[in-house]
Chain A
Amino acid sequence: MVSSARRRVLVTYLTATPFVIFALFPLVWMLMTSLKTNIELYDLAQNPFLVRAGVTWEHYRFLFTQTAFPLWLRNSAVVATTTSILSVVLAVLAAYALARLRFPLAEAVTTFVFIVYLVPTTLLFLPLARLMALFHLSNTLWSLIVAYPAFMVPFATWMLTAYFTTIPRDVEESALVDGCTRLSALRHVVLPLARPGIITAALFGFTLAWSEFIYALTFISTTELKTVTTGVVVDLIRGDFFYWGSLMGGALVASLPVVLLFALFFDQYVAGLTAGAVRG
Chain B
Amino acid sequence: MITAGRFAKRAPGWSGVRIRPDAVAAWCFLLPTLLLLLLVAVYPLLYSFFLSMTNAQVSGPVLFIGLQNFVRLLHTAIFTLTLSNTLWYTLGAVTIKLVLGLALALVLSQQVPGMRWIRGAVLIPWVVPTSMAMLAWTWMFDSTYSVVNWVLMHLRVVSEPIAWLGTPRLARFAVTLVNVWSGLPFFGINFLAGLVSIPQELYEAATVDGAGPFVRFRQVTLPLLRPVLATVVLFSVVMTSSDFATIFILTKGGPQNMTQILSTLAFKLGLATGDLGNAAAISLYLFPVLAVSTYAQVRLMRRVWQW
Contact = CB atoms under 8 A, between A and B. Distances in A.
B189 interface: yes
Given A22-B181, A23-B122, A127-B280, A273 B145 contact: no
Contacts of B159: none
B262 to A, nearest CB: 8
A139 interface: no
Contacts of A103: 19, 22-23, 26-27
Contacts of A238: none
Interface in A172-196: 182-183
A110 B306 CA distance: 12
Contacts of B249: 233
Interface in A265-279: 266, 269-270, 273-274, 276-279
A119 interface: yes
B124 A23 contact: yes
Nearest to B279: A126
B122 A19 contact: yes
Given A19-B107, A233-B249, A276-B190, A106 B26 contact: yes
A55 to B, nearest CB: 18
B107 A259 contact: no
Nearest to A153: B33
A141 interface: no
A207 to B, nearest CB: 7
A91 to B, nearest CB: 7
Contacts of A244: 139, 142, 145
B253 interface: no
B51 A20 contact: no
Interface string A2-38: 0000001100110110011011111101100100000
Interface in B275-307: 276, 279-280, 283-284, 286-287, 290, 293-294, 297-298, 301, 304-307
Interface stretch (B73-81, B110-118, B214-222): B110-118
Nearest to B196: A278
Interface in B53-98: none
B147 A29 contact: yes
Contact of A130 (B19, B110, B276): B276
Interface centre among A33, A93, A111 (most CB of B within 10 A): A93
A17 to B, nearest CB: 9
A114 interface: yes
B257 interface: no
Contacts of A114: 297-298, 301
A122 interface: yes
Contact of A274 (B137, B145, B190, B242): B190
B132 A97 contact: no
Interface residues of A, number: 99
Nearest to B228: A277
A262 interface: yes
A229 B270 contact: no
A207 B297 CA distance: 24
Contact of B107 (A15, A30, A218, A258): A15
B290 A119 contact: yes
A274 B304 CA distance: 15
Contact of A93 (B29, B132, B235): B29
Give me the 9 closest cross-chain CB pairs, A-B, nearest first: A120-B242, A211-B129, A103-B23, A150-B40, A97-B29, A127-B44, A26-B136, A122-B263, A94-B33
19 contacts: A9-B110, A23-B122, A26-B125, A91-B33, A94-B32, A114-B297, A118-B293, A122-B266, A127-B45, A211-B129, A213-B130, A230-B131, A232-B135, A244-B139, A248-B136, A262-B123, A273-B123, A273-B190, A280-B306
Interface of B: 19, 21-23, 25-27, 29-30, 32-34, 36-37, 40-45, 47-48, 51, 103-104, 107-108, 110, 112-113, 115-116, 118-137, 139-140, 142, 144-145, 147, 150, 181, 184-186, 188-190, 193-194, 197, 228, 231-232, 235, 238-239, 242-245, 249, 262-263, 266-267, 270-271, 276, 279-280, 283-284, 286-287, 290, 293-294, 297-298, 301, 304-307
Interface of A: 8-9, 12-13, 15-16, 19-20, 22-27, 29-30, 33, 41-42, 44, 47-49, 90-91, 93-94, 96-98, 101-104, 106-107, 109-116, 118-131, 146-147, 149-150, 153-154, 157, 182-183, 207, 210-211, 213-214, 218, 229-230, 232-233, 244, 247-248, 250-252, 254-255, 258-259, 262-263, 266, 269-270, 273-274, 276-280
